[in-house]
């Protein structure tokens, strides 16, 4: 009987340690240098559907200048990490990834300039 009670207690404790997850949407906007003929802009990141092995395309807002993508993920973290690519070239080589801190609401807006360090990021929080 005693081992049975211990098993139940351990199971209950293990179940109570499950991390809460959140559905988060991030709208990424990337400003690119005007002196480059751009054929492809994409993003890599740490939370599905993004990955570090496969890049995801951004759509053109203003040709050779402004691109966007909206990503929705389910995560237990309060942030995610990303990097952008232009014409297959990964930005911020040998530098930290961009850390995007999620807004309190459902949607976070993240604006970046290609290959400009993240300490100059602009995050606008949208609360539903």
Please report the pLDDT score of residue 18 as a whole number.
73
Q: How confident is the model at residue 12 (pLDDT cuts 50, 70, 90)?
A: low
Query: Tens of pLDDT along 20-64?
Result: 898 999 999 999 987 778 999 999 999 999 999 999 999 999 998
Please report the pLDDT score of residue 128 as a whole number.
39
Q: Does domain 19-126 have CATH number 3.40.50.720?
A: no
| Percent of the chain whose pLDDT exceeds 70 | 80
* Domain definitions of the chain by residue range: 19-126
Q: Which two tokens stand for residue 73?
A: 């993920």
Q: Of residues 33 and 127, which shows the higher confidence score?
A: 33
Q: Of residues 13 and 79, which shows the higher confidence score?
A: 79
Q: Of residues 16 and 51, which shows the higher confidence score?
A: 51
SS3 of residue 14 by DSSP = helix
H or E element at residue 12: helix 2-15
With a cut of 50, say whether residue 125 has pLDDT above it: no
């Amino acid at each position: 009987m005693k081992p049975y009670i211990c098993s139940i207690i351990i199971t209950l404790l293990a179940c109570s340690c499950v991390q809460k997850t959140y559905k988060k949407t991030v709208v990424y906007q990337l400003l690119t240098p005007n002196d480059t003929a751009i054929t492809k802009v994409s993003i890599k990141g740490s939370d599905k559907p993004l990955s570090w092995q496969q890049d995801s395309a951004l759509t053109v807002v203003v040709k050779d200048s402004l691109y966007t993508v909206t990503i929705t993920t389910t995560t237990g973290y309060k942030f995610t990490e990303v990097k952008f690519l232009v014409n297959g070239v990964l930005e911020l080589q040998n530098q930290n990834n961009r850390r995007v801190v999620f807004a309190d609401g459902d949607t976070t807006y993240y604006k970046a300039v290609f290959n400009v360090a993240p300490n100059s990021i602009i995050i606008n929080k949208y609360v539903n």
